Structure 1
Amino acid sequence: MIFAIEKGNQCPEWAFDGQIHSVFDKAINIITNDASIPWVSLLDYTLPNTPCGYRVALSMQPGFRQLKVGERVYFRGGILRFPSNPLCNIETRSAKFWKNPPLILRYEKEQLIINSKISEVGLIKYINIKLPKITIKNKSDYLSYLHLTFDKGFLHSPSRVVDNIGKGDGLTPSGDDFICGILAVLHQANKLDNQFSQVLNELTKAIQTRWHQTTDVSRHYLAQALDGDFSQPVQWLVYSLFHSSSDIDVDKALNDVLEIGSSSGADIISGILYGVEELLF
């Protein structure tokens, strides 16, 4: 029996049946038969927390690499069971829920601008190290490099950014990660001032018409983002942008997001910074 270390706030507490969707060195994705929680992930403890993820020492358990796509999985009594390899069964009841940031009740626009500039500088520095053959001066340069749509006037035509769905390579294309970043800011802004409800509704409807244009994995994360659920590092970065008066705290939150995936973290941050500028500046 293997014990999960942490779990997300959307991890199911009730029984379900499912099958393995995909297996990676540090992650296993499971499709469930429960429409309310259609997706569960097992994540190595070195990866960031997600709303429907259990953090487990996957890299220390060679048995997980023997699991195959399509194999049956079932969840009973708090234990995630793999009939093909019982040594991989996971006890989830002792796992702690990962820590969410405090609620943001108000923010200072001047501090938000300062924190956004700090974050953009950090993002551009990271990108230029990672992509030494090109020169990126600001987030707009990076979005252009990704061939993403990011016109000014998002509030007047929010559905335009949906043209980015499916753009880019990988399990979560850059365009989808960019949109998730925008949604992270939009949900936070709407909590502070519900004048953004109409924008959120319009964007939600537009995204739902484009599900077929992206991957299963990315569709799952977009669906969570539409509900206001994001990975722990993304939530803490948004919190730091709105709340922190410490450059160190902002830099740490930024670097935690940059560690997500090969380029997903940078793409999400570009969406967050775009969203902050369009919604609140």
Structure 2
Amino acid sequence: MLKVHSVFQHALNLRSEEGELLTLLCAKRYQNLADAARVALPEHWDWRQEITHSAPVFLTGGILQAQRFAVDLKAAIVWQSNVQKRCLDSEAGTWLQHHYPLLNAQLRQFCLKHQIDSALQWQESAMYQGLKPQESAEQLEQQVPRLIGYGKGLTPDGDDYLLGYLAALRPWHLPPDVEAHRNRLQQSIEQNLPRTTDISQHYLRRAVQGHFSQPVCDLLRQLSTHTPLKTFIACTENVMQFGATSGADCLAGLLHGLRTLNTYS
């Protein structure tokens, strides 16, 4: 039996008795996430009107069954990331340096247009007075206990930032110093997971294991290659559009990760 964890108009988070998370998403509005099922919903469907927090959901024979809906998972297409690891050589480093200014400019424009109100001080403006992630790899490691759980929402700002940072390091065969840094960072994240929400714990744990959303994976594939500008911009927009501030925080963390890689490439 599954229990309702949280419910929104276009997304429903379910949790098993063992604590595992399964999310049902509107297929028209969301791309793939780790541990989520994209569902073709009827017009004007609103999960908040179809289920209550106390309502049980049963998974039997591959079918999710509740009082007012049933979702057949048996024939579902399984999405898996196809981001391949490659060496962090001079060619890759050149492309990372080439793409970085565009990513940074898109993030600034997006934040201005949508008035992003992150609790983190990663934006270069005096109006943002929140916690500022420290720049060096060693400083960031030491700051993990402060970043995890910092901010608001089901996935606080500090968590989304760390997820983006881990994503930036994921596609590479890293030099020993960076590999050791990532291992220490991941260990610190795992040790401090109780500081944040259970939803965010789930996604950070999956990030440590190398699992990210489709928009993040799509962007990662573009970073070390020649990509048409229109495609690159669209991939970046898809990342930033997730949640109220989650996508922007994630991209800010990814940019920080690229700066770390740049010091070694």
Question: Which TM bucket (shorter chain)?
Answer: 0.7 to 0.9
TM-score by length of 1: 0.81
For 2:261 and 2:129, locate their aligned partners in 1 and report how far apart those are by CA, in whole Å. 22
Match of 2:222 in 1: 240
Q: Secondary structure in 1 aligned to 2:15?
A: strand
Give the unaligned 5+ runs of structure 1.
1-16
- Taking a change above 3 Å as real, the CA distance of residues 157 and 177 of structure 1, as seen in their structure-2 partners, is closer
Q: Measure, in 1, the Cα distance between the counterparts of 2:126 and 2:31.
A: 24
Give unmatched runs, 5+ long, in structure 2: none
TM-superposition CA deviations, 1:106-165 (whole Å, max 9, x none)? 4521111111111111111111112299xxxx9552698262332222157524244211
Q: Quote the RMSD (CA, aligned, Å).
A: 2.7
Q: How does 1:1-281 map to 2 (within 5 A)?
A: 17-34=1-18, 38-45=20-27, 46-58=29-41, 60=43, 62=45, 64=47, 65-82=49-66, 84-85=67-68, 88-98=69-79, 100-106=81-87, 108-131=92-115, 140-141=123-124, 145=128, 147-155=130-138, 158-189=141-172, 191-193=173-175, 196-281=178-263
Is the CA contact 1:165–1:175 (under 8 Å) kept in the aligned structure 2? Answer: yes
CA contact (8 A) 2:149 2:195 kept: yes
Deviations 1:56-111 (A, max 9, x none): 134637474221113222222221122x33xx110112222236344142452111
Number of residue-to-residue matches in the alignment: 255
What's the TM-score once normalised by structure 2's chain length?
A: 0.85
Deviates more, 1:270-279 or 1:162-171: 162-171
Who is 1:4 aligned against?
none
Q: Which runs of 4+ in 1 moved over 4 A?
A: 192-195
